[in-house]
Homo-oligomer: A and B are copies of this chain.
Amino acid sequence: MIQKPSIPKGTRDFGQREMAARNYIFDTVRSVFKSFGYSQIETPAMENLGTLLGKYGEEGDKLLYRILNSGDAFGAVDFEKPLAPQVCEKGLRYDLTVPFARYVVQHQGEISFPFKRFQIQPVWRADRPQKGRYREFYQCDVDAIGSKSLLCELELVQIVARVFELLDLRVCMKINNRKVLSGLAEVCGFPDKVVDITVAIDKLDKIGLEAVEEELLEKGLTAEAVEILRPVLLLEGSFEEKLAVMRSLMGASAEGQRGLDELEELFGLIRSAGVVMPCEMDLSLARGLNYYTGAIFEVKALDWQIGSICGGGRYDNLTGIFGLPDMSGVGVSFGADRIYDVLTGLGKFPDDISSGADLLFANMGRAELDYVLPIASALRGAGLSVEVYPDAAKLKKQFDYCDRKGMRFLSVCGENEVASGTVQIKNLATGEQVSFGVEDIDGMAAFVRG
């Protein structure tokens, strides 16, 4: 029976072009991570379900892909009890954060802390597929764990700045601090409403001051509390001006003042290090609120409308659930799919990333191959990417192949070239054709390299 081939909904094949574009992004972040001394790790796609369950909330548990036990999975099940837990012991990685926490605890004896690691691997989520949301996608995380120093935050800011500088994207980094948000909730008298308050403030740009204040009242805040928060909603000016307003607003909240201290120190370090990327304090940034304990980061592209393309923050108890308390860390995750979309939208991928080989030798028959094969080998040795067309097909067909694969140079070595010991190489873009002596590998390589 012939099967019409397809792949599961929400998954993708990556062809030459997509791979080249994605590798361009990954190679860029990888080179930057390495230049800061971060080292790469990989963890298995399958984790024990015990490692994954309960880490992403009830909704997250439902989105985990479970793997049926091998062998006779249903052999000894009790049909009176829920079946899934009895027949599945393993699940696919849902993100890179929980496997990282597991890794740190499991390998703590071998790790030199502070541990600076990065990880670029796919994750799987049984989400409803839709435009821009996939069931298999790559995450690209960089974290430093085992130090509370704000130098770690600075390093991430520097990494983000350098990555987007290399990718030639104009971005802005928004920075908040969880302690400031807690302090705000504290000074207005509703310490348990941190999330409601932040979510409301976050809508300021979209719905305006009055609507935000209405929402705060709806969420149960008093008019006095809303009054106290108003300066936050009106906050503007330089970092120093915002900080001064917040300092006075925060008053006696020790937590809030500590958060402001951290922001002040981090912005000082950013200035010291000469970071050019614009960074701004943004108190509405609520990302991963239940999780982060200090700095919160988010990066937006300035020239393309899309959600955040990178984000993260500091967490204080990532590894606690696996038995290693008091491991403070900070990390960011680069959204490879969105960065891909922005680079595509702005036409920022370099022209040559998905090109094929540099040079094609046409196949003129067996006798000419004896002449061409050693030359092709020598040119590869000189660093070029070289193809020899496999069949002695019509030249038209060979030219088409050369063209469709985007090769820029072509060489046709026939009887005459063999007899005269020469190699003609043609630049297909300019039409320029140069003749080389068969020994002049360096000359040929230089011509193709341009």
**Inter-chain contact A322/B2, CB cutoff 8 Å:** yes
Q: Note all chain B residues with C-beta closer than 8 A to A363.
A: 149, 151
**In residues 30-47 of chain A, which contact B (Cβ within 8 Å)?**
34-37, 39-47
Given A3-B323, A70-B126, do A136 and B45 touch, yes or no (CB 8 Å)?
A: yes
Contact of A42 among B6, B13, B322 (CB under 8 A): B13
Cβ-neighbour of A68 out of B65, B106, B274 (below 8 A): B65
Check A11 for interface membership: any CB of B closer than 8 A: yes
Residues A152 and B390 in contact, CB atoms below 8 Å apart: yes
With a 10 A CB-CB cut-off, give which of A11, A39, A83 has the most chain B CB atoms: A39
Looking across the interface, which residue of chain B has its beta carbon closest to that of A406? Answer: B112
Considering the chains assembled together, what is the distance between the CA atoms of A74 and B385 in angstroms? 53
A14→B88 CA distance, assembly (Å): 25
- The reply to whether A41 and B19 contact each other, CB–CB distance below 8 Å, is yes
Bound Cα distance A67, B154 (Å) = 41
Alpha-carbon separation in the docked complex, A434 to B347 (Å): 46
Residue A433 CB within 8 A of the other chain: no
Q: Indicate whether A44 sits within 8 Å of B5 (C-beta atoms), given known contacts A36-B386, A126-B70, A274-B374.
A: no
Q: A84 interface residue, CB < 8 Å from B?
A: yes
- Min C-beta distance of A34 to chain B, whole Å: 6
* CB–CB A124/B37 < 8 A: no
- Asked whether, in the complex, the Cβ of A63 is within 8 Å of the Cβ of B70, the reply is yes
Taking CB atoms, residues of chain B closer than 8 Å to A179 are none
CB pair B386 A15 closer than 8 Å: no
**Do residues B84 and A385 form an inter-chain contact, with CB atoms below 8 A?**
no
Q: Scan residues 263-283 of chain A and give those whose CB is less than 8 A from a CB of chain B.
A: 269, 272-274
24 CB-based A-B contacts, threshold 8 Å: A3-B322, A4-B322, A5-B105, A6-B48, A7-B51, A8-B46, A11-B44, A12-B44, A19-B41, A23-B40, A37-B385, A45-B92, A65-B70, A66-B68, A71-B126, A74-B84, A114-B390, A148-B391, A149-B390, A151-B363, A154-B373, A162-B380, A272-B370, A274-B373
State which of B34, B50, B147 has its C-beta within 8 Å of the C-beta of A385. B34
Given contacts A4-B322, A6-B106, A147-B391, 17 further A-B contacts (CB under 8 A): A6-B48, A7-B48, A7-B51, A13-B42, A15-B110, A16-B117, A20-B39, A35-B384, A44-B136, A45-B124, A46-B124, A46-B135, A65-B70, A68-B68, A114-B401, A149-B391, A274-B377
CA distance A272 to B384 in the complex (A): 20
> Does the CB pair B11–A46 fall under 8 Å?
yes
How many angstroms from the CA of A34 to the CA of B15 in the assembled complex?
Answer: 15
* 0 or 1 for each of A346-388: is its CB under 8 Å from B? (1 = yes): 0000000000110010010000011001101100100111111
Asked if A253 lies at the interface with its beta carbon under 8 angstroms from chain B, I say: no
Q: Is A405 on the interface with B (CB-CB < 8 A)?
A: yes
Asked if A254 is at the interface of the complex by the 8 Å CB criterion, the answer is no
Q: Mark A162-182, 1 if CB is under 8 A from B, else 0.
A: 100000000000000000000
* A51→B65 CA distance, assembly (Å): 19
Q: A73 on the interface (CB 8 Å rule)?
A: yes
Q: List the B residue with the shortest CB-CB distance to A400.
A: B112
Closest to A79 in B: B79
Residues in B whose Cβ lies below 8 Å from that of A63: 70
A154 nearest in chain B by CB position: B373
Whether the Cβ atoms of B37 and A387 lie closer than 8 Å is yes
The answer on a CB contact under 8 Å between B48 and A8 is yes
Q: Is B67 a contact partner of A73 (Cβ separation < 8 A)?
A: no
Q: A424 — which chain B residues lie within 8 A by C-beta?
A: none
A340 in the interface (beta carbon within 8 A): no
Smallest CB separation, A168 vs chain B (Å): 16
Contact present for A68 and B88 (CB under 8 Å): yes
Q: Which residues of B sit under 8 angstroms from A65, Cβ to Cβ?
A: 46, 67-68, 70
A369 neighbours in B (Cβ, 8 Å): 151, 269, 272
Give the CA-CA distance A37 to B359 in the complex, in Å. Answer: 9
Residue with the greatest number of chain B CB neighbours at <10 A, chosen from A63, A122, A273: A273
